[in-house]
Amino acid sequence: MTNELTGRVAIVTGGASGIGRTTVDAFVAEGARVVIADINGELGATVAAEYGPEVAFQRTDVSDAAQVAELVAVTVARFGGLDIMLNNAGIPTTMRAGLLDEPLDDFHRLMAVDLLGVMLGTQHAARYMAGHGGGSIINTTSIGGIRAGRGEPVYRAAKAGVIHFTKCAAIDLAEYGIRVNSIAPGAIPTPILASTLGHLDDIESATLRLREVMRSIRPLPREGSPSDIAAATVFYAGERSAYITGTVLPVDGGIVAGHAGNAFAEIEAEQAEPLSA
């Protein structure tokens, strides 16, 4: 740790679980004071209680503009400012096999949390930061927002929206010294994975199978973890990235770079095998 966030104040939405929870840890370890904002009041309060006075909790639904405005106000009142806004809260969609059977019934809630929530967090943080020397806003998208694919059309569309919005906001807010970037996690084992498979009978084996599939398409042979995302977030939050805005960084073991399968090697291996009589 290098104390690169000493004196900074951060908000982490969705900070009660998974990637957000680990990022709160990383921010505190780097010297920041943090407000955890999460819709899960019980978990959020429990997590915040594990720290000292450097961490507070504010129950917030990120899709509600009044609650997001209140979150920023409470943070400034408690810690005297706001330098870093991590718009990480998100909900998954149910994974279904194809568009023809897709009910699109979670459209409004998904867009409200995964896209509008990011927009509100960016806007309300920026309204404060613009008059107080700038800051760094980091929006969580997904590899599903970069790569088109089968299944999860609403989730992918919402996350693609996060990337485009991030670029627009970066251009708009640059004159105030506010940088806006996004991070695209891929295949990080957190509770969200099982939630996408909640409609199946055996969620546990479906989750294991899903992780197997991810392993087979990921170029890097190692598993990702919430700490990998937190490390990228600390970089965007601090001064090392002072000349970087409007970007999207996949943290995904190379999945969006391309499919790990090597069809040519497989064909070569087949040809090398002796022909059966």
One-letter amino acid for residue 103 of the chain: P
Catalytic residue among 128, 155, 176, 236: 155
d(CA 83, CA 137): 8
Q: Can 155 be counted among the known catalytic residues?
A: yes
DSSP three-state, residue 90: coil
Beta carbons of 198 and 91 less than 8 angstroms apart: no
Smallest separation, CB 268 to ligand NAI (Å): 33
Task: Mark 169-190 as b/e (b = at least 16 C-beta within 10 Å).
Answer: bbeebeebebbbbbbbbbbbeb
The answer to whether the beta carbons of residues 88 and 26 sit under 8 Å apart is no
CB of 264 to ligand NAI, least distance (A): 29
Nearest distance in Å: CB 158, ligand NAI: 9
| Cα→Cα distances 25→87, 125, 239, 261, Å | 16, 21, 19, 36
Tokens of 35: 């407000």
Please report how close the Cβ of residue 6 comes to ligand NAI at its closest, in angstroms: 26
Residue closer to ligand NAI by CB (options 141, 241) is: 141
Site of interaction with ligand NAI (CB under 6 A): 13-14, 16-20, 38-40, 60-63, 88-91, 113, 117, 140, 142, 185-188, 190-192
Tell me how far, at minimum, the Cβ of 188 lies from ligand NAI, in Å. Answer: 4
Phi, psi dihedral angles at 276 (to 5 degrees): -75, 150
- Answer for the pair 194, 203: CB distance below 8 angstroms, yes or no: yes
Residue 37 in contact with residue 72, Cβ under 8 Å? no
Give catalytic residue positions.
155
